[in-house]
Amino acid sequence: MPSSVCIITARGGSKRIPRKNVREFCGKPMLAYSVETAVASGIFDVVMVSTDDDEIADVARKYGAEVPFMRSEATSNDYATTSDVLREVLSDYGKCGAEFDTMCCLYPTAPFVQVSELKEASAMIEAGASSVIPVTSFDFPPLRGFRVGEDGSLEYAFPEFAQTRSQDLPEMVHDCGRFYFAKVASFHETGSFITNNTRFLRIPSRLVQDIDTPEDWELAEQKYRAMTQED
Ranges of each domain in the chain: 4-134+172-225
Superfamily in which the 4-134+172-225 domain is placed by CATH: Spore Coat Polysaccharide Biosynthesis Protein SpsA; Chain A (3.90.550.10)
pLDDT at 14: 80
pTM, full prediction? 0.94
Query: Bridge partners of 200?
Result: 133
pLDDT at 78: 87
Task: Count Cβ atoms below 10 Å from residue 13 Cβ, excluding itself.
Answer: 12
Are 11 and 76 a contacting pair, CB within 8 Å?
Answer: yes
Q: Residue 65: left (phi > 0), alpha (psi -120 to 50), or beta?
A: beta
Q: Give the pLDDT of the chain (231 residues) as one tens digit per residue.
A: 669 999 999 999 887 899 999 999 999 999 999 999 999 999 999 999 999 999 999 999 999 999 999 999 999 998 899 999 999 999 999 999 999 999 999 999 999 999 999 999 999 999 999 999 999 999 899 999 999 999 999 999 999 999 999 999 999 999 999 999 999 999 999 999 999 899 999 999 999 999 999 999 999 999 999 998 876
112 closest CA partner among 215, 222, 24: 222
Are 193 and 124 a contacting pair, CB within 8 Å?
Answer: no
What is the Cα–Cα distance from 90 to 7, expressed in whole angstroms? 9
What is the Cα–Cα distance from 74 to 80, expressed in whole angstroms? 7
Q: What residue type is 12 in one-letter code?
A: G
pLDDT at 156: 96
pLDDT at 2: 66
